[in-house]
Structure 1
Amino acid sequence: MHTLVAPGQHVLFLNWRDTGNPEGGGSEVYVERIAGELVARGHQATILCAAYPGASDEEVNDAGVRFLRRGGRHTVYFYAALMYLAGFIGLGRLARSGLGRPDLLVDVCNGLPFLCRLYSRRPVVALVHHVHREQWSVVLGAVGARFGWWVESRLGVRVYRNCRYVTVSAATRDELSILGVEPERVTVVHNGTPEMPTTPTAKTSHPSLVVLCRLVPHKRVEVALRAVRELVEQFPTLRLVVAGQGWWEPQLRELAEELGISDRVRFAGFVTDAEKHELLSSAWVALTPSLKEGWGLTIVEAGAVGTPTVAFREAGGVAEAVVDGRTGWLADDEPDFIKRVRELLADGDQRNAMGQAAQEHAAQFTWAASGERFSNLVAAVTAVAVPPAIESYLLP
């Protein structure tokens, strides 16, 4: 075994999406911002992700992060292994256009890990935003859910049993410990708060709600739609904006029709950063009805512009992104969720006080601080000896 030098490392992130992908979300924002912070500190950062229509195979963004896009949603895992091995042994065209020899691999485990520890002799860090126990059955059928949960909770944990982990909240660290990942192997690196335009945006003159997320089943936008249906009698001018895109949008539009609230709901689709700022700033209350979040980036984004959020108490990291009763409310179930939304819409003093507290809370989290913490982890992991052969990870 030999020892690596910490400064100026090449860090390879394996993540099946990037922020330009139609399925991209908060996890991708996190990865790209952290990668940019590493570049600013003298490292190289490459993100290998899936290709999609309209995206180039290779590019470097304004932060100096290199993107390689290969394969699709499922085949990107195969390309990651092929390109890594080709680059490492210098195999022809794949090596010339591939990954080179990264010093550290970061496996972004969005349910299914890349399992790169099976083929990499470089140090590996597993990045887990949240554990998907509840989501497998929502996204897949019974058989698929059992397989996905086995890969995430058993196979992945075993493959990475001697590796460092990074997660975005203490809640996820606690969940990982239940799966057998010792807390001392887990470093918590929170999301930062995106820089928001300084130009103030006035609140709407009518009661308004906003949901900002990918439109997929486990985000449970249906709860927000049903909340509008329950509250519209008390607040006749109530409006909801659903910002984001995803394959579940037709079902959500259909539900809005069934509930008779289509004229009160606007599906905004993909929004730019400027549009996002305007929506979050102008809304009276932000809603995060998601089944599970590792942190809740949109909660802190809303807080940064003085908008309180209502979310669910048992949804993982949101219990840290929302300070219950101070920066917003954490609900116990759907009736309680609607009750809390009603309370905030009706009580302007409480809403304004929570909005101010949410701004103060959001100011604690910066990408610079998160980048420094991640950079320290890179230095610590790459300054130790290369791990032993993979057989030692798989044998009892």
Structure 2
Amino acid sequence: MPAAPARHILFLNWRDTHNPEGGGSEVYTERIAAELVTHGHRVTLLCAAHGDAPAEQVLPNAVHVLRRGGRHTVYLRAALTYLAGGCRLGRLAAGVRGRPDLIVDVCNGVPFLSPLYARCPTVVVVHHVHREQWPVVFGDWRGRFGWWLESRVAPRVYRRCRYVTVSTATRDELVRLGVAAARISIIQNGLPGVTGVPVRRAAYPCLVVLGRLVPHKRVEYALDALAALAAELPDLRLIVAGRGWWEPRLREYAARLGVAGRTEFAGYVTERRKHELLSHGWVALVPSLKEGWGLTIMEAAARETPAIAFRGAGGVCDAIRHGDTGLLADDPGDFVAKIRWLLTDDRARRRMGRAARRYAESFTWPAAGNQLATLVDGVLTPDRKAP
């Protein structure tokens, strides 16, 4: 079968990895976009502007970035940029780009609704459904409006589009929202690049939480576990790596629990430092309310550090093979019990760590890119026949 023709593909995502609030969704978007470049496609990422980041940039992986609008206005700016034929990078790629052949619309709760204005096919990426998160982030009418937009409006606007998600849990939730299962493809994350050499495991029991410090990440549950186990494990420590507007509340909570002296708020960490912490810790905790996949679970696994998350948190059930590569808790009490078990059973913890590394190594970005490239080819040239 002849190779698919090169296309111009536009990714719409509200943030990029350089954004201070960027997370796993942004890593997925940029890594899989880069894989499409290796397949010969031209890729543009349109996201919100932030800080001192340039409005136009070409990343080392050849993905072109347009930063337009802000946290709330990026959706409107995406539509206006498309309608103006502005999906090009001015002086960086003058005359090379025009309107895209295909849009990859990444929905992080608020959809871009690109089929309403785009004259090209759209592929929708949904990492997870935000039903539980809307009332946590916005407890008023904004949360209700956001859930209405995500659960009622988006499925109707994207009713003719192909969907991509990263876990079976999210696929099942999308089906419950009315998206036909036949239109949903699961393309999971690859193993993040491992930076630096492993450092020695801590000589004392050490827990690590890695991620944005926002309410729905529920770092409080990790602090609760630290307090509950402090008397049994007097040397127990917790490292919280990441930044976010919820950090002052978490510091106050740690002080109220009497565990501030046992807790290190490491703030933003480099890739190298992140992997040092994951090598240093005994167990990675992912107490989040909802995750599409759980990128930090795989990052920890690469360092043979098993993770514990909540069974009801969506895609973590794919990222953790319960009892083999880590553990899934049913409720806060069970979360503490499972942490106690792994911290006190060296043999089980090390066995799960080794299994976690082997499992993580089975996921690669080239494989994910091949899957998306095949899907893109099928959307743009549906009549092509395999030999």
The answer to whether residue 275 in structure 2 is matched with residue 277 in structure 1 is yes
310-319 or 256-265, larger mean C-alpha shift: 256-265
Q: Does the 8 Å CA contact 1:87/1:98 hold for their aligned counterparts?
A: no
Q: Shift in Å at residue 96 of structure 1?
A: 6.7
What is residue 119 of structure 2 aligned with on the other side? 121
Q: Does the 8 Å CA contact 1:210/1:280 hold for their aligned counterparts?
A: yes
What is residue 210 of structure 2 aligned with on the other side? 212
- Kindly report which structure 2 residues correspond to 1:180-259, keeping only aligned pairs within 5 A, or say none: 180-197=178-195, 199-259=197-257
375-384 or 162-171, larger mean C-alpha shift: 375-384
- Kindly report which structure 2 residues correspond to 1:103-114, keeping only aligned pairs within 5 A, or say none: 103-114=101-112
What is residue 393 of structure 1 aligned with on the other side? none
What is residue 381 of structure 1 aligned with on the other side? 379
What is residue 70 of structure 1 aligned with on the other side? 68
**In the aligned structure 1, how far is the partner of 2:37 from the partner of 2:262?**
44
Q: Does the 8 Å CA contact 2:87/2:98 hold for their aligned counterparts?
A: no
What is residue 145 of structure 2 aligned with on the other side? 147
Which of 315, 331, 334 is residue 333 of structure 1 equivalent to? 331
**Cα deviation 1:259-289 (Å, max 9, x = unaligned):** 1111111111111111111111111000000
Q: Does the 8 Å CA contact 1:46/1:68 hold for their aligned counterparts?
A: yes
Aligned AA (2:228): E
Q: Kindly report the root-mean-square deviation, in angstroms, between the aligned alpha carbons of the 2 structures.
A: 1.9
The answer to whether residue 5 in structure 2 is matched with residue 23 in structure 1 is no
Aligned AA (1:261): V
What is residue 32 of structure 1 aligned with on the other side? 30
% same residue: 60
Which of 278, 302, 305 is residue 304 of structure 1 equivalent to? 302
Aligned AA (2:127): H
Q: Shift in Å at residue 145 of structure 1?
A: 1.4
Aligned AA (2:161): C
Which of 152, 158, 161 is residue 159 of structure 2 equivalent to? 161
Segments of structure 1 that go 5 or more residues without pairing to the other structure are 386-396
Q: Does the 8 Å CA contact 2:39/2:373 hold for their aligned counterparts?
A: yes
TM-score by length of 2: 0.95
What is residue 14 of structure 1 aligned with on the other side? 12
**In the aligned structure 2, how far is the partner of 1:112 from the partner of 1:141?**
16
**In the aligned structure 2, how far is the partner of 1:54 from the partner of 1:240?**
33
**In the aligned structure 1, how far is the partner of 2:97 from the partner of 2:160?**
24
Q: Secondary structure at the match of 2:85?
A: helix
**Cα deviation 1:54-92 (Å, max 9, x = unaligned):** 1110111111111100110011111100010001799x9
Q: Secondary structure at the match of 1:114?
A: coil
Segments of structure 2 that go 5 or more residues without pairing to the other structure are none
Q: Shift in Å at residue 133 of structure 1?
A: 0.4
Q: Secondary structure at the match of 2:232?
A: coil
Q: Larger relative CO (CA 8 A, sep 6+): 1 or 2?
A: 1
**In the aligned structure 1, how far is the partner of 2:171 from the partner of 2:122?**
18
Q: Does the 8 Å CA contact 2:81/2:87 hold for their aligned counterparts?
A: no
Aligned AA (1:227): A
**In the aligned structure 1, how far is the partner of 2:167 from the partner of 2:41?**
25
Q: Shift in Å at residue 384 of structure 1?
A: 3.7
**In the aligned structure 1, how far is the partner of 2:95 from the partner of 2:24?**
28
What is residue 260 of structure 2 aligned with on the other side? 262
**Cα deviation 1:212-233 (Å, max 9, x = unaligned):** 1111111100000111011111
Aligned AA (1:185): R
**In the aligned structure 1, how far is the partner of 2:146 from the partner of 2:289?**
17
Aligned AA (2:325): T
TM-score by length of 1: 0.93
